[in-house]
Amino acid sequence: MEARPRLLVVVAVLAAAASAAGATSFNVKTYGAKGNGVNDDTKALVTAWKAACAAAGAVTLVLGPGTYYGTLKAASDLKRFGNDWIEFGWVNGLTVAGGVIDGQGAASWPFNKCPVRKDCKVLPTSVLFVNTQNTVVKDVTSVNPKFFHFALLTAKNIHISGVKITAPANSPNTDGIHIERSSGVYIQDTRIATGDDCISVGQGNDNVEVARVQCGPGHGMSVGSLGRYVGEGDVTRVHVRDMTFTGTDNGVRIKTWENSPTKSKAAHMVFENLVMKDVMNPIIIDQKYCPYYNCEHKYVSGVSISDIQFKNVKGTATTPVAVLLKCGVPCQGLVLQDVDLKYKGQGTTQAKCENAKAKYVGYQSPKPCAY
């Protein structure tokens, strides 16, 4: 448990440097940091961080070139972690810029049983933003997390751009950016190649905008999964545009569990100007989501889906069913406009629908579902 606060503070010092005119400067080497990759600089970095936090007005924390032991490379021993590795919390006006965050997750992935067990022990997320306001994250690289790369929890007004996220295609639960109970989330100009969802919009979110993100490999752009736990919040106003998906399992997906203990809604979403390059399931709504072999199909999902638009979606699918709209209770207000998806195999693409009567506008390939 001691490793967690050490890493939290150390990376905060490295990444949260804010360049402001007239700001007081705190150089970590003044406080004894060596930056040689051998000496443990934790004490010096913590001291510099505390001095900066105690100063009045704008401050800049400076780390010169070097490798600061204990800062950016996670330990491989899982016993040294809680639920996350690096945590930024309860702060207003934070900027996290530059640097490489290496979760060294390969040694831990064999211990992740979440893909097959509901009662699994969750491995640590690399970077968590919790209860932050007015945050900027830019030009950061994350590689090989033990679990999620980035997670946003109750964040308000967070802008993410120029981020590069990388993990092998078979790495389990390595979501690129997971969002939960947040509002005003803006993600743009980012590249995500990972083993799970490139971006996952969980429960309780409002006003999420994603633009110019390249996704692949991975599981695509997901809203959900939703409806698994008691008291989940609604997901509203999600706008995804100008994304490219390459070799992903899914393109854009809304996934909800059956047998939901309480009701919620997923509504007012637009997915537009999307390019699919050899994607298994380019457009999918799945209200019978369950990744386990022993799923119980007793009740329909308690998540109502309404006002969902898919506009100008083009490219290639690696399975015949390029559009799958599988709803529990009937989905309302679905619109598909200018969809052009070709099958890479023999034959044409198909659409399959269940409790999902959609409005079709413009060109449609595959042909709309017959009712």
Q: Give the residue numbers marked as catalytic.
A: 219
Nearest CA to 175 out of 196, 151, 144 is that of 196
Residue with the two structure tokens 């993990």: 167
Q: What is the DSSP string of 138-155?
A: ES-EEE--SS-SEEEES-
Rounded to 5 degrees, φ, ψ at 77 are: -80, 110
| Amino acid identity for residue 94 in this structure | L
Question: Which bin fits 20, alpha (ψ -120 to 50), beta or left (φ > 0)?
Answer: beta
Tokens describing residue 285: 């709504």
Nearest CA to 259 out of 301, 289, 229, 217 is that of 301
Looking from the CA of 207 toward its CB, the CA atoms found within 13 Å total 10
Tokens describing residue 299: 């009740």
Beta-ladder partners of 191: 164, 214
Alpha carbons 99 and 115: distance in angstroms, whole number: 30
168: cis peptide before it, omega within 30°? no
Looking from the CA of 201 toward its CB, the CA atoms found within 13 Å total 31
Q: What is the DSSP string of 112-127?
A: --TTT-TTPPPPPEEE
Cα–Cα–Cα angle for 68, 69, 70, rounded to 5 degrees? 115
Residue with the two structure tokens 């390595």: 174
Q: Are 256 and 286 in contact (CB under 8 A)?
A: yes
